[in-house]
């Protein structure tokens, strides 16, 4: 399925993940980007790239200005205020408001997170594995895992209630020219701060470059179904924080310093068999992706 000539709603459009997605899709599609637009600069950047910006508030169900005749909806919005009522309303309730409004769409993609898995050492999580409060260990993301699980429940109900073909994609570590967790680690390295890793080493994830995120959208939308399809979504290679920071160090000459602790999130390695059936393997090798990230964010640092 080619994503061309479609009307596509992208929520969370000012966010790290959705902004580059919306801009790329706007080259060949009629893209409507939704957020509260607390960031005026983001609105200007998006409009310059051809995205029609629509103000919504998912917490209150203020979605009426979105085009109800959209072909596809990509829900990348997430609320992380730390207030339980507000975050449940925006994340779980928000999915339901959106699905009701867009019940005539061809497919609905709900972006979830691998933060829904109950930590279990170095197990490679499958979609059927137990869910749990993965991110509670980080006080600044206290509501995150539980709200992401609640939102998945809402998406499952919305798919069934409205007969709306839906995919719930559990994203691992998104990164690229617009930043991401590895970019935060690079900033910490530059500031001379230690990078926290879990004591149960190594801290393994599946970083996925923004180019691969966009490339996987047709497959994820084609897999949308009722009941909803749930699929892990990450780069095909498992990479540890230790390894990507070491590589960033090789690229920039800044040596990472690690701090092993139990007070950080544990490994979330993934079984990507289902994703590979749906989207194929990812294309951007993590070392190339990290180099491109440094080139985009700190070109002056590249030494290798
Ligand atoms: N970034 C990661 O490392 C990571 C990892 C795994 C999964 N994910 C998932 O990927 C998706 C995108 O994450 P992200 O990091 O790009 O998020 P982000 O940068 O925090 O952006 C969140 C977006 O949601 C919008 N939003 C927040 N509250 C809203 C509300 N009440 N109504 C409407 N829009 C609202 C924000 O815009 P306004 O504030 O202007 O409304 C913003 O556009 C999420 O589903 C997240 O769980 C992210």
Between 71 and 39, where is the model more confident?
71
Strand partners, 139: none
CB-CB neighbours of 26 under 10 Å: 20
Q: Is residue 292 part of a domain?
A: no
Pocket flag, ligand 1, residue 155 (CB < 6 Å): no
Pocket flag, ligand 1, residue 18 (CB < 6 Å): yes
Query: What is the mean predicted confidence (pLDDT) over 38-67?
Result: 97
pLDDT reading at 304 higher than 80: no
Q: Which domain holds residue 134?
A: 7-178+207-236+270-282
Q: How far apart are CA 290 and CA 272, in angstroms?
A: 21
pLDDT reading at 11 higher than 90: yes
Give me the helices (H) in 191-267, please.
Answer: 210-222, 241-252
Q: Is residue 33 part of a domain?
A: yes
pLDDT of residue 1: 73
What is the distance in A from the centroid of ligand 1 to the CA of 79? 6
> What is the number of structural domains in the chain?
1
Q: Is residue 95 part of a domain?
A: yes
Q: Which two tokens stand for residue 291?
A: 């180099």
Q: Which residues of 44-63 are buried (b: 16+ CB within 10 A; e: fewer)?
A: eebeebebbbbebbbbebeb
CA angle 244, 17, 224 (to 5 degrees): 110
What is the distance in A from the centroid of ligand 1 to the CA of 136? 18
What is the distance in A from the centroid of ligand 1 to the CA of 22? 13
Q: Is residue 246 part of a domain?
A: no
Q: How does strand 124-125 pair with strand 166-171?
A: unpaired
- Mean of all residue pLDDT scores within the chain: 97
Q: Is residue 263 part of a domain?
A: no
Q: At 39, is the pLDDT very low, low, confident or very high (cuts 50, 70, 90)? A: confident
From 76, 83, 138, 268, the mutation candidate for ligand 1 (largest count of ligand atoms within 8 A of CB) is 76
Closest residue (by CA) to atom 3 of ligand 1? 173
Query: What is the mean predicted confidence (pLDDT) over 85-107?
Result: 98
Phi, then psi, of 246 in degrees rounded to 5: -60, -40
Indicate yes or no: pTM above 0.75: yes
pLDDT of residue 2: 81
Between 1 and 68, where is the model more confident?
68
pLDDT of residue 303: 84
Q: How far apart are CA 41 and CA 254, in angstroms?
A: 31
What is the distance in A from the centroid of ligand 1 to the CA of 157? 21
Q: Which residues of 94-114 are buried (b: 16+ CB within 10 A; e: fewer)?
A: bbbbbbebbeebbbbbbbbbb
Pocket flag, ligand 1, residue 15 (CB < 6 Å): yes
Q: Is residue 192 part of a domain?
A: no
Query: What is the tens place of the pLDDT at every residue in 265-294?
Result: 999 999 999 999 999 999 999 999 999 999
CA angle 265, 35, 219 (to 5 degrees): 65
Query: What is the tens place of the pLDDT at every residue in 143-180?
Result: 999 999 999 999 999 999 999 999 999 999 999 999 99
CATH of the domain at 70: 3.40.50.720
Q: Is residue 261 part of a domain?
A: no
Helix 40-48 and helix 18-25: axis angle, to 10°?
A: 20
CA angle 237, 246, 282 (to 5 degrees): 20
Q: Is residue 2 part of a domain?
A: no
Query: What is the tens place of the pLDDT at every residue in 211-254?
Result: 999 999 999 999 999 999 999 999 999 999 999 999 999 999 99
CA distances (Å), origin 246, targets 172, 236, 252, 268, 294: 20, 20, 10, 19, 13
């Amino acid at each position: 399925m080619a994503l061309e000539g479609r009307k596509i709603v992208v929520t969370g459009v000012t966010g790290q993940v959705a902004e580059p997605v919306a801009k790329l899709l706007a080259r060949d599609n009629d893209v409507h980007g939704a957020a509260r637009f607390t960031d005026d600069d983001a609105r200007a950047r998006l409009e310059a790239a051809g995205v029609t910006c629509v103000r919504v508030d998912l917490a209150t169900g203020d979605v009426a200005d979105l085009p109800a005749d959209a072909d596809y909806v990509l829900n990348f919005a997430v609320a992380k205020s730390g207030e339980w009522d507000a975050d449940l309303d925006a994340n779980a309730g928000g999915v339901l408001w959106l699905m009701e409004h867009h019940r005539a769409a061809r497919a609905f993609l709900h972006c979830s997170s691998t933060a829904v898995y109950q930590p279990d050492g170095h197990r490679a999580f499958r979609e059927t594995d137990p869910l749990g409060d993965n991110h509670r260990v980080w006080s600044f993301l206290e509501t995150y895992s539980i709200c992401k699980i609640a939102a998945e429940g809402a998406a499952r109900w919305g798919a069934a209630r409205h007969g709306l073909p839906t995919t719930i994609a559990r994203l691992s570590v998104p990164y690229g020219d617009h930043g991401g967790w590895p970019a935060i680690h690079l900033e910490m390295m530059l500031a001379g701060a230690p990078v926290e890793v879990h004591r149960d080493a190594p801290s393994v994830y599946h970083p996925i470059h923004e180019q691969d995120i966009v490339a996987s959208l047709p497959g994820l939308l084609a897999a949308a179904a009722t009941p909803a399809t749930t699929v892990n979504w990450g780069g095909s290679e498992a990479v540890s924080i230790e390894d990507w920071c070491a590589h960033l160090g090789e690229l920039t000459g800044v040596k990472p310093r690690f701090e092993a602790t139990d007070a950080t999130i544990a490994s979330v390695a993934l079984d990507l068999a289902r994703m590979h059936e749906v989207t194929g393997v990812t294309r951007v090798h993590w070392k190339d992706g990290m180099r491109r990230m440094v080139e985009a964010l700190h070109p002056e640092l590249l030494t290798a």
